[in-house]
Chains A and B, each alone.
Chain A
Amino acid sequence: MSQPTHTTERPAVQAPAHPPKPRRPMPLAARILLRTAHVLLLPAVLIGLYAYSTATSGSYYTPTPGLIADAFAELWFSERLLVDVIPSLIRLLTGFTIAAVTGVCLGVVLGVSKGVRATLEPVLEFLRAIPPPVLIPLMILLVGIDDSMKILVIVSGCVWPVLLNTVEGVRAVDPVLADTARCYGLRTTTRLRVLVLRSASPQIMAGLRLALALAIILMVISEMFASSSGLGFAIVQFQRTFAIPEMWAGMVLLGLVGFALTAVFGLVEGRVLRWYRGLRAANRGE
């Protein structure tokens, strides 16, 4: 006989009409200030340490933060933004989106159907084991050196975490909830939308998060081969022409791009998984 998830009442959570808001011991301004300090303190210390060590060493290959900042401003607040940065980002987001959609769709099919899973799994395991960068020479031969090659490289790497997480999430749909959906006559499309995708969303979001990090790496790698634009291309070119502060400025920009994308992703995830955090907090008895 199946067991209930919780066996006791939770009188502590006395059902507010609205989601409980955290108490506010501090005014908003102070909280923002404190939060900013938390975020910026360690970066400031690290930059300071770096500044100190570069000022004392004077190595040509590790320029001071000031030099890097100058190069950064000069490089990226110019038309290079349009030539290198924007195309890179477009390829990144296109590749990520294609990988996300493919991964989720295929993942749902695999998660729902045992037969499909058994048939495809060995092949998928093999394909997954191939590091995406080694596909670049092949893809140059097959699709050329334009954007589609770079997007394909990104897709070929990013699709796996999304796919595998979706399969796991779909397989983990609660059987009681699935029975409930059947009893109340939910049609297949509704069941997919309301039951399967939503209850797998924590795993899917985790997969997407991994895929986003991979997408940035693969974007850069794909631009290092047979390319004439993009951030990866620019950084390699700076290094070859001994434009060292510019090379550093490129790396900093990549770091910032990754940071910004992760932050945006975090916001989206927070919205999509609000219920999940609430549920977990309730189960922990908070």
Chain B
Amino acid sequence: MLKVTALQKIYNGGASAVEAVRDLTFELAEGELVCLVGPSGCGKTTLLKCIAGLMPPTSGTVELAGDSVTAPPPDMAVVFQEYGRSLFAWMSVRANVELPLKEKKLPKERRRELVAQSLEAVGLTAFADSYPWQLSGGMQQRVAIARAVAYEPKVLLMDEPFAAVDAQTRADLEDLIRNIWQRLGVTVLFVTHDIDEAVYLGERVLVLSSSPTVVQDDITVDLPAERDQLTTRQDERFTELRARVYAQIQQAKNSAAPAAAH
């Protein structure tokens, strides 16, 4: 479904050119929920921007359903970390969700249906006429998720979407994502720096190395499909997986330190 091959990104700055991403190759099957986790500053956001078609890679390719991605593809929705800056403050919640659908030229009836369904899914039906700035941070991020869901993408990219919300809201939102993923069968690539979150959410966890970034490990999360904040996190297998990812990241940090020093 989503195929990243030998992706490399160098930020040009003459002598001080920075190689953010060195050589990334991985693939997401249709309907998979994959978490991408790595030490901070490992180029997760760079990678995501390349995949989203917002930034051209220096070399390598991104393919979505067999088509090469050079501009933001129509079947992809992105949820950014900065919820406060990714919503249109001058539009109501409803208008924010509906805007991309209008651009897709969907008929009014269908738009109304999709907006209602997606707001329902994130529990914001009562707030359709509010403005984003009248909502709490977690609710704003829900609006962004509702907008992505209503867009009916084949692939959903999420760039540390819960990094800026509090722990309780975060747990709720994690369950919301699992729920939406299971119901819609959408392919999800979820970028995070939180190891617990990656293991809890993902069917697979890709561990990235420090910058310049490569895929360090590819771990299948063999936890049951129904996950629960309390029992899953106490599960022995969860702890094992968590420890493995943690070890990988520690190793990534240490081994890559000299290379990243300049």
Contact = CB atoms under 8 A, between A and B. Distances in A.
Contact of B82 (A2, A9, A19, A199): A2
A180 B86 CA distance: 6
A176 interface: yes
B209 to A, nearest CB: 16
B83 A4 contact: yes
B31 interface: no
Contacts, number: 123
B136 interface: yes
Interface string A162-195: 0000000000001011011011111100100011
Nearest to B170: A9
Contacts of A201: 90
Contacts of A13: 134-136
B214 to A, nearest CB: 18
Contacts of B85: 5, 174, 176-177
Contacts of B239: none
A195 B72 CA distance: 17
A198 B90 CA distance: 7
B82 A176 contact: yes
A282 to B, nearest CB: 4
A209 B52 CA distance: 40
B222 to A, nearest CB: 31
- Chain A's interface: helix, strand, loop or mixed, by majority? loop
Interface residues on A, range: 35 or more
Given A176-B86, A179-B80, A199-B90, 13 more contacts: A7-B164, A9-B165, A9-B166, A10-B136, A16-B134, A17-B127, A176-B80, A179-B86, A182-B72, A184-B77, A185-B72, A198-B90, A275-B91
Interface of B: 40-41, 44-45, 49, 52, 54, 71-72, 74, 76-78, 80-86, 88-91, 99-100, 103-104, 126-127, 129-131, 133-139, 147, 151, 163-166, 169
6 nearest A-B pairs in the assembled complex, by CB-CB distance: A4-B164, A184-B100, A5-B84, A176-B85, A282-B133, A275-B90
25 contacts: A1-B45, A2-B81, A4-B81, A5-B85, A14-B136, A15-B135, A16-B130, A19-B131, A176-B86, A177-B85, A182-B71, A183-B54, A183-B78, A184-B99, A184-B100, A187-B103, A194-B88, A194-B91, A195-B88, A198-B88, A201-B90, A275-B91, A275-B133, A276-B90, A278-B131
